[in-house]
Every structure is written in structure tokens, then in C-alpha cells.
Structure 1
Amino acid sequence: MSGTSLDGVDGVLLECGTSPAAFKVHAAASADLPDALRQALLSLNQSGPDELHRAAVAASQLAELYAEVVAQLLQRSGLAAAQIRAIGAHGQTVRHRPPRDGEPWPYTLQINQPAQLAERTGINVVADFRSRDIAAGGQGAPLVPAFHQRLFGHAGQSVLVLNLGGMANITALPANGAVYGLDSGPGNVLLDLWCQRHTGAWFDRDGAWAASGREQPELLAHLLVEPYFLQRGIKSTGRDLFHAGWLDERLRGFAGLPPADVQATLACLTARSVALAVQGIAWGGAGPQQVWVCGGGSRNAHLMRLLAAELPQAQVQASDEAGWPAQWVEAAAFAWLALQTLEGKPGNLPSVTGARGSRVLGAIYPA
């Protein structure tokens, strides 16, 4: 998995037992995205010259990085390529234009070279998970709630699973057994962008810089006017909306604010937009009792404190406390989705994506 934070590639070697309790991670590995590849992928989020060539080259470079992570997983586990049923390779999202009122031809685009990955590894590859859900009228995202339900669902308890990557997505598991999910808005993407611009660091470690600033209520209110936050029901988003231009436009008139105060307010924006999304869920009660947080944002201590303040009725914890380290969860989800594809089983949840029905996702590239 390489997500919208554009920080690296995470991989797990997952054995799927007959129940989630029997799931076993044999190995985990990660690799940083080289700066040149990160910039190439970031540039593809917006229109530019020679896009087709640049996208093809970046996809090939990304597939090589995936192959390196696969090699690490095999070495650490002691397993051979012939013992692996498939690689679930998500690819890198560079455009996400799901169905919207009045806009024709919805699509989502994850660049990848699954054929190259199959050649390099000698392992079946399952890729292109999102396009079938889009074809069926869905948002193509989020796809992880079906896995979250299996992993974190708890009979009689209302649970929220929050993935804090570049974007933030939630899986709501009310005690009545229903499943809901959506993208609440920016997770780390604006925090990382502002931190890179003003400190040169790729991210705000532990949220220390944000914690040094002061939340600006007027700026927060101005940011929350964004129509996406006001939209209820099924929805998904990405860097197509929440990018540097979006932030710069909304900071007009706030030029005198200290950069640390802006960072503090952006952290509040992430936490508040999650809380707003949670409030829009039909919980059948007071809301979630337990919140499991995964993704890189779970390592941001300041952001975790803000989330706990926004969701005071719940216990907010990193998924590590449930036995699933935060960096493993999304990669494990796409390993499981690859298995669903191989077995001809649906991978999407229409209650989450809005698709016309359950669909088998992905395309298989044989070894």
C-alpha cells in the first residue's frame, strides 16, 4: 500500500484464517518513497505537460519499489514466492473523481504496473481494486470498511475505525451490526504540506509544532465552510480537492497569523471534520464507545489528544492496542481484498460506497 501521504510503501505478508482471530501477519516491511518519485507522483495530482509519459515512468518506478518490499517480506518470513497466492497491489492514487451531481464520466486512477510486478516477483498480482465499484455507480472508496468490520467489529458495541492517512476515512460499526464508511476529509495532507513549507520537515513529528501554536477559531470556522464537510451520507475525496491551492485560497485574509497557529488550526480541522462525520452516522445510540485509529496520523500525539477531546464519549486508541500495529492495517486490508478477488467474493460494501450492489473487485495478473 502506498497512500495519499506519499511517504512510502507499506507491505504485510498476511495469512487469512477462517476467522479474523486466525489471521496472522508473518512479516511486515516498508520502504520510503525516493524524493524524486514522491515529487513525480505529487505533480500528477494536477494537469501538466507530458502527463502520459510521466505517469508511465512513475508507475514503473513504483512497481520496482513494490517488488523491493515483496522481497523484504519473503526474506523476513522465510517463505518462497511459490508459497504466496497473490500480491494485492493498490497502486498510487493520482486522481479521484467519483460520481458527483452534474459531472459526467466519473473515474478514479491509481497508477501501477502490475504486469511488471508479476514479472519481477513471480507471484500473481491483483490490482485495480477501485474501478469496478465506480463502474457500478459507487465512489470507489473507501474500500477498507469490509476488512475493518472483520477485524474490529464487536457484537453489542459501537466501534469506530479511523484511518488517518493523507486523507481521513472512517468505518462506523454500530452495535446493531450495520456498516457505514466515508472519507471525512483531510487527515495528514494539509498538516504535512504546511509543515514542509515552513520547516522543511516532511511531517510534524508527534504534532509538536502544532502543539506549540494556538488554534484560531475564526480560521477554523472559515475552513469548515467547505461544502464537502457539510455533505452528509456517502462521499469520498482526495488531493483533487484538498491540496495547496485549496489551503492558500482559504488563508487569504489570515496572512498575519504565525505559521505555528495555522498548523494548530489545521490539526483542529482534521479532528473536527472527523467528529462532524461521526455525528452524521446513524449509530442508534450515543455514538461510538471505542475508536481504533490506524495510519500514520495515529503517531501524532497532539492529533490523538484533539480526537479524544472531540469524541469524549469514546475511548480513543491506536490500533496497536488491539493487536494490529497502525502501519499494518491498510496494507493488510488490500491483501485480504486480493484474496476476495481470487475466490470470486465481493470486496465492496454498497452501504459505504453507494454502488448498485456487491462486486468482485480487481484484475488478476498471473505470475
Structure 2
Amino acid sequence: MRDLFIGLMSGTSLDGVDAVLARFDPQGGIAVQGHVHRPFPDALRADLLALNRPGADELHRAALASNGVAEAYAQAVAALLAATGATADQIAAVGAHGQTVRHRPGEFDGTGYTVQLLNGALLAERCGIDVVADLRSRDVAAGGQGAPLVPAFHAALFGQPGMAQAVLNWGGIGNLTLLGADGAVSGFDCGPGNVLLDLWCERHRRTPFDAGGAWAAQGRVDAALLATLLDEPFLHRAPPKSTGRDLFHAEWLDARLAAFDALTPVDVQATLAEFTVRAATDALLRHLPSPTRLLVCGGGALNDHLMARLAAQLPGTAVQSTASAGLPPLQVEAAAFAWLAWAFTQRRPGNRPAVTGAAGPRVLGCLHPAR
């Protein structure tokens, strides 16, 4: 039986596609064989960003964007196979996340929905490999949030009996996995990751992100603005909960900045960075008061300023990149979706009801066979 899987992830930050090739043993143990990153073409990124907000002719635009995501994913798969020397016929399945453009679980009719744009049939056609996609909607159908899905993988990969620790996945949105010393696993979206920082940096510096947090580190945190940001009701809701660009977007930020128009852009960036850190640390300490270790993955793990501020807020906790535990931070989420594809082929549940609020464990995903 083939034991190689590919995981594909494109997150809320819209920076592109991470592709990971991983081998799994029968118990789900993982050995990563390779990783590539491919940025989205500028036009596709612009279309995906626009589709996060209501607009004209959305069905047509979304259908074409779904094709574009599939083509970008297929190119990432081809690059990964070339880099590792693997061939398509050696791969059991591709676990493909798709690009989230709306996430409204439990709303409107009591079920709500989550939308990840990806033409899975086209991806299977281009790659010649079975594709497991649509990995969130089954959990939503069972009354869950459909997110975060990574805690089950974090528990399998990083859990240590007797150690209370957490994993902070800092992409566009931040989510926490809490791993109790007694083996309990919980988790939830805790607020913005890089989404507001990237938005403000692009607006004022015409660059897609603040490399290393260097710009934020030059500014001064405004206490009044920080208090206004931290007053966001989502942050104070009890889990299970999840969020995205549906909440944390330009209009949300501009509404809160209206009373602070005298602040310089660099001071706003510094305050947004502190808000990002406080949203995560306040949530962590509320639900896991004395963690021994906090492992950080996603792009936020490469932001020196954010990591330093995390450590300052958690003086009794070892704050480390997931690289210290064996998996580089930009590989973790893609590896998680490879694991979800493996779980699908084993007909094992991929969700954690205690995390998402679903009615029970569910096998996640829909299969697009290669042939």
C-alpha cells in the first residue's frame, strides 16, 4: 500500500501555496520528505482577495478563481515531485485545502457554510493523483465550526504525556491547540494572525508584509487603541469558535481607527502587532494557565518582533518555533492536510469534536479519483 501523501495549503494570508510530501506509518506517524512554496499569480491573488467581500457576478468569478487555484496547486505538486524525485504513481492521495473566501458556520439557517475555492476535479486531472478536498464542510454539517482542523494533527505530532503545552498556528488568522498534561486536546481560533498587519503594511509601505516585524518594532504601542481592538466581542466568546476575513478585514480596522486619526502609520503597526500577540496570549492563559511550552508555526513564527513580544507576555513559558520539535513552521499546515488525506484513506475521523463543536467524530473530505 502506498504511504506517500501530498498536503497543499493556501491560507488566509493569500501568500501562495505550500506543498509538502510526507510518508505516514500505519499509526499516522509522519516523516516529511520535501516542501516547496509557490506564490499565487498577482491576478489570482487579487481575485481571491476581492471574493472575500460581496461583489458583482460572484458565481462566475468564483468558478474561474476555483480553476485558478487548481492550476496553482497543480504547479506546486509538479514542483514538489521534481524536487523530491517522487512520481505521481507513488502518491496515495493529495490533501488539498483550497482557498477560504467565506466562513460562516452555524449562521443564517442554523447550519451555515464554509467556502474553500478549489476545482478538485481539475486538480486530479492535472496531477493524475487522487485528490481529497472539501475538508471542512462535513464538520460544519455535523454542527461544528469546520475549524480549526489542525489540533488533531498537532496532538499526534507534538503531544507529550505529562506536559501541558500549546501550538499557535499564526497564519492570516491565529489558532491555538491546547495539549493538556492529561492528554486532553482542545483548540480554537484566537483572533487575527498576520491579516491586519499585512493589510496595514501593504496600504502604507506598498509591501505585502512587514519582514521580521522590523517596521512594527520601530513604533510605539498606543494603549487606548490597543484597548479598543481588544474589546472585539469575538475574543471574549467561549470556544468552540472560528473566524477569518469575514470579521477581520479593512472595514473592521478602519472603523476602530476612526477615533485615532492622529496616530502615525508606524504606531498603528506597532499597536496591531501588540494586539495580535495579546489576542493569542490572553486566550492561551485563560484556557491553559501554565503552559510549559508554546510552539509557533505559520508565517508569524518568522516574525522576530512578534516572537519577542510573545516571549515577553509569557515569561514562564518556553516560546519556540515548531522547528525545535522537528517540523519547520512553514511546513506544519500543509503536513496537516497530508495527514487529513491519509486519515480519509484510512476512514479515520479528521476532526476533534471537543475543538469544533461537531456532534461527533467524522471522516473529512470528498474524493476526486485520478482515474
Alignment of 1:125-274 (within 5 A): 125-274=131-280
User: Partner residue of 1:14?
Assistant: 22
* Whole-angstrom CA distance in 1 between matches of 2:205 and 2:304: 19
Contact 1:98 1:107 in 2 (8 A): yes
User: Partner residue of 1:84?
Assistant: 91
Letter in 2 for 1:310: Q
Alignment of 1:297-312 (within 5 A): 297-312=300-315
Q: Scaled by the length of structure 1, what TM-score is found? A: 0.97
Q: Scaled by the length of structure 2, what TM-score is found? A: 0.96
Contact 2:349 2:362 in 1 (8 A): yes
User: Partner residue of 2:52?
Assistant: 45
Contact 2:111 2:141 in 1 (8 A): no
After TM superposition, give the deviation of residue 18 of structure 1 in Å. 3.8
Contact 2:292 2:318 in 1 (8 A): yes
* Whole-angstrom CA distance in 2 between matches of 1:26 and 1:279: 35
User: Partner residue of 2:11?
Assistant: 3
User: Partner residue of 2:5?
Assistant: none
Letter in 1 for 2:151: P
Q: Secondary structure at the match of 1:86?
A: strand
1:363 maps to which of 326, 342, 366: 366
* Whole-angstrom CA distance in 2 between matches of 1:139 and 1:37: 27
Question: Is 1:115 matched with 2:115?
Answer: no
Residues 88-119 of structure 1, C-alpha deviation per residue, up to 9 Å, x if partnerless? 0100000000125x764410000101100101
User: Partner residue of 1:75?
Assistant: 82
Contact 1:341 1:360 in 2 (8 A): yes
Deviating above 2 A after TM superposition, structure 1's stretches of 4 or more consecutive aligned residues are: 102-105
Q: Secondary structure at the match of 2:38?
A: strand
Q: CA RMSD in A?
A: 1.1
Q: Secondary structure at the match of 1:252?
A: helix
Letter in 2 for 1:209: W
User: Partner residue of 2:319?
Assistant: 316
Letter in 2 for 1:38: R
Letter in 2 for 1:65: A
2:103 maps to which of 89, 96, 103: 96
* Whole-angstrom CA distance in 1 between matches of 2:91 and 2:27: 19
Residues 115-138 of structure 1, C-alpha deviation per residue, up to 9 Å, x if partnerless? 001011110000000000000000
Unaligned runs of 5+ in 2: 1-8
Contact 2:166 2:178 in 1 (8 A): yes
Count of residue correspondences: 362
* Whole-angstrom CA distance in 1 between matches of 2:277 and 2:322: 17
Question: Is 1:57 matched with 2:60?
Answer: no
Unaligned runs of 5+ in 1: none
Letter in 2 for 1:351: A
* Whole-angstrom CA distance in 1 between matches of 2:163 and 2:109: 39
Question: Is 1:332 matched with 2:335?
Answer: yes
Q: Secondary structure at the match of 2:11?
A: coil
103 and 275 in structure 1: CA distance in 2 versus 1, 3 angstrom threshold: farther
Contact 2:111 2:143 in 1 (8 A): no
